[in-house]
Amino acid sequence: MAAFLRILSIFSYCLLAACLRHLQTTQLGLDPPTTNRLNGESFQQDALVTFNGYQYAVFWEASERNASIRHVVVARRVVGGEFEKLVLGDYGQVEDDGHDVISLGISQTDGSLHLIFDQHDNDLRYRSSTLGVATSPTQTTWSADVLFTSSILNFLPGLSSIDKPTHFSNVTYPRFLDIPRQAQKLIPGIGAGGTPDLLLELRVGRSGLGDDWLYHYYPADKNTNQGGRWVEVGKYLLGVNNNPYINGLDFDLQGNLHTTWTYRDFINDTGKDVAVQAGPNGPENNHDLNYAYSSDGGYTWKNTWGQAVANVHAPTIPSTAEASSEVRRIGNLPPGTPIAPTSPGIVVFGIPKFGGILNQEAQTVDSAGRVHVLNRENGTGVEQWFHYWRTSSSDKFTSGYWIRTPLPLSVPGDPNNITGIVGVIGKRGKLINVSGSSTHKNTSASSERNSGQGSDHGDSGDTLLAILPSNAPSPNNLTTQSSALTILQSTSKGQFEDWAVAWSSAGGCGWEPLVDRYRILEGVLSLYLVNLDGSSDGQGRVVEVVDLQVA
């Protein structure tokens, strides 16, 4: 906490499109005394979720009795208030492994919380709360005994009978994402009834040898007494002697789901300890930036030219009239066809092995449907952050065209020179879009934006924020990492080339920053950060939430 209070916010930044102002720093808890970070990893989706006036956070905290054992903590607060915590003391986490984060998803319809945690190539660990927790928060007693009465499952409710080794073994990187209303409408009926409101993505396999799968959550229905249940969408990203690493998944305002990824090729590491360390299956084996989108919640996928590349429908899903095999066969793609490394047209930028592209950095989609990726490359002999973006698919002239630009090595006015030093495996950043209407004071100008279907010509504009943690050594102690943070911004009006400093701090971001992707819709950039707590031994760390007003 102390660290972020030392922030100097420089008010002249407020002349730019997005003006960030520090609102509040709140401590969530103590980060466990492990070598690897169990809280705040770039792929952790999500650690911080705002819904219905409350913000929810998840993190590991060491047991009071034995610091080698960690428990899942779920915290909530009225947005802007103080957190109240509940501890799931009946599960003890013991591996010192930075993959083993906690991911949180919330059903907007039935109000249940969904947790997956402690996953690194092991059996699924899933737990959900009672119903109504998030939809009736004032009537909820914030207690583990009341809310988390069900046990930890090694399968998803509704899918107890599908083959566990195929679906729920060797699981890593669970990611939840709200399915917005406009996307719910596009999802085909699969005979289950109702409409899904939460998406789950996860990897099955291991680094260099794995596939990514998708599931939908159908909320509980009081009228039919039907409980909440998960439905398998299917394996959508196939690894072939490699594994895909996604930068993220995002729905646009039309309901299309976009994803970008890199492949990591397999190096046989038999006999080496790979549980914690990356090598020899490290990021040097990553290659290419790939892209695909789905207009039906993940069942079918197209490449950047709109050509069908995958028909994920699991062949095992019971047929209904609506989902007949005819409907489910797409051209020459039978059900059960994932996106493969050889699928045509998925590579949007060819980046060689040893080319410096990292796995799981950042992605967002803006209000005009432009897909933005933050990653890094070393094609020029200098490892540098790159911004890759796809023009709006509704743009008449440059529909779905990809642009790739390095972030400038030096951004004027950045005291941290954050873009000057980028490591091959340095701390990863985040990207988030803020719509023109929330950043432009002239509301009559911003109302010209044609609600999401915007073209690149004449829209009042989106502002893209890049939240960049320092990859450099600390200026005061070269054996430690700097905890500096700079937030850069660029605008659609400036073709995203007008990078400028929106915020900077010499400290306060000790590890990889995470963003509340939902609270930004209310004009607040809420960051989940891990920092030294300033204790005398220099070892203690805290998990905190830092709120910045976007104006």
Ligand X SMILES: *[C@@H]1O[C@H](CO)[C@@H](O)[C@H](O)[C@H]1NC(C)=O
Compare residues 273 and 326 and give the one whose CB is closer to ligand X.
273
Q: Residue holding tokens 């994932």?
A: 338
Q: Which two tokens stand for residue 287?
A: 């290659």
Strand partners, 21: 549
527 binds ligand X (CB under 6 A): no
How big is the site for ligand X, counted in residues (CB under 6 A)? 39
Q: Which of residues 263-292 bind ligand X (CB under 6 A)?
A: 268, 270
Phi/psi zone of residue 492: left (φ > 0), alpha (ψ -120 to 50 degrees), beta?
A: alpha
Q: Which of residues 35-94 bind ligand X (CB under 6 A)?
A: 66, 68-69, 94
Q: Which one of residues 78, 146, 240, 445 is an interface residue with ligand X (CB under 6 A)?
A: 445
> How near is the Cβ of 379 to ligand X at its closest, in Å?
8
551 binds ligand X (CB under 6 A): no
Count CB atoms within 10 A of the CB of residue 203: 25
444 binds ligand X (CB under 6 A): yes
Q: Hey, CA dihedral for 431, 435, 436, 437, is it positive or negative?
A: negative
Compare residues 82 and 497 and give the one whose CB is closer to ligand X.
497
Q: What ranges make up the beta strands (E) of 382-450?
A: 384-390, 402-406, 430-434
Q: Which one of residues 130, 226, 378, 455 is an interface residue with ligand X (CB under 6 A)?
A: 378
Q: Which one of residues 53, 81, 413, 538 is an interface residue with ligand X (CB under 6 A)?
A: 538
Single-letter amino acid, residue 434: V
Q: Which two tokens stand for residue 258?
A: 């976009």
442 binds ligand X (CB under 6 A): yes
Evaluate whether 103 touches 174 at the Cβ level (below 8 Å): yes
Single-letter amino acid, residue 123: D
| Residue closest to 231 by CA, chosen among 302, 318, 171, 146 | 318
Q: Which two tokens stand for residue 365?
A: 């989609």
Compare residues 147 and 373 and give the one whose CB is closer to ligand X.
373
Compare residues 188 and 408 and give the one whose CB is closer to ligand X.
408
Instruction: For Cα atoms 315, 294, 518, give the angle at the middle one, nearest 5 degrees.
Output: 120
Phi/psi zone of residue 510: left (φ > 0), alpha (ψ -120 to 50 degrees), beta?
A: alpha
Count CB atoms within 10 A of the CB of residue 352: 12
253 binds ligand X (CB under 6 A): yes
Q: What ranges make up the beta strands (E) of 140-256?
A: 171-178, 198-206, 209-218, 229-237, 242-251
Single-letter amino acid, residue 312: V
| Residue closest to 260 by CA, chosen among 271, 269, 249, 252 | 249
> How near is the Cβ of 380 to ligand X at its closest, in Å?
8
Phi/psi zone of residue 331: left (φ > 0), alpha (ψ -120 to 50 degrees), beta?
A: left
Compare residues 232 and 462 and give the one whose CB is closer to ligand X.
462
549 binds ligand X (CB under 6 A): no
463 binds ligand X (CB under 6 A): no
- Which of these segments, 107-115, 432-440, 483-491, 494-502, binds ligand X (CB under 6 A)? 432-440
> How near is the Cβ of 323 to ligand X at its closest, in Å?
28
Q: Which one of residues 9, 154, 169, 226 is an interface residue with ligand X (CB under 6 A)?
A: 169
CA distance 95 to 68: 9
- Which of these segments, 227-235, 295-303, 363-371, 491-499, binds ligand X (CB under 6 A)? 363-371
| Residue closest to 518 by CA, chosen among 22, 55, 20 | 55
Task: Name the CA radius of gyration of the chain, rounded.
Answer: 22
Q: Hey, CA dihedral for 524, 529, 533, 534, is it positive or negative?
A: negative
Q: Which one of residues 20, 115, 209, 527 is an interface residue with ligand X (CB under 6 A)?
A: 209
- Which of these segments, 39-47, 82-90, 201-209, 399-407, binds ligand X (CB under 6 A)? 201-209
Q: Which one of residues 149, 165, 321, 350 is an interface residue with ligand X (CB under 6 A)?
A: 165
- Which of these segments, 54-62, 190-198, 202-210, 291-299, binds ligand X (CB under 6 A)? 202-210
521 binds ligand X (CB under 6 A): yes
450 binds ligand X (CB under 6 A): no
The residue sitting closest to ligand X, measured at its beta carbon, is 420
> How near is the Cβ of 165 to ligand X at its closest, in Å?
4
x-marked contacts with ligand X along 333-362 as a string, rule CB under 6 A: ------------------------------
Evaluate whether 308 touches 329 at the Cβ level (below 8 Å): no
| Residue closest to 200 by CA, chosen among 178, 171, 169 | 178
Evaluate whether 420 touches 383 at the Cβ level (below 8 Å): no
479 binds ligand X (CB under 6 A): yes
- Which of these segments, 76-84, 155-163, 310-318, 430-438, binds ligand X (CB under 6 A)? 430-438
252 binds ligand X (CB under 6 A): yes
455 binds ligand X (CB under 6 A): no
Compare residues 383 and 544 and give the one whose CB is closer to ligand X.
383
Compare residues 325 and 535 and give the one whose CB is closer to ligand X.
535
Q: Which of residues 96-155 bind ligand X (CB under 6 A)?
A: 121
CA distance 77 to 286: 40
CA distance 516 to 207: 27
> How near is the Cβ of 472 to ligand X at its closest, in Å?
9
Q: Which of residues 407-426 bind ligand X (CB under 6 A)?
A: 409-410, 417, 420, 424
Compare residues 332 and 539 and give the one whose CB is closer to ligand X.
539
Q: Which one of residues 171, 358, 434, 500 is an interface residue with ligand X (CB under 6 A)?
A: 434
Q: Residue holding tokens 């967002």?
A: 364
Measured distance between the N- and C-terminal CA atoms of the chain, rounded to whole angstroms? 24
Single-letter amino acid, residue 140: T
> How near is the Cβ of 443 to ligand X at its closest, in Å?
8
Residues that bind ligand X in the complex, under the rule CB under 6 A: 66, 68-69, 94, 121, 165, 169-170, 205-206, 209, 252-253, 268, 270, 365-367, 378, 381, 383, 409-410, 417, 420, 424, 433-435, 438, 442, 444-445, 477, 479-480, 520-521, 538
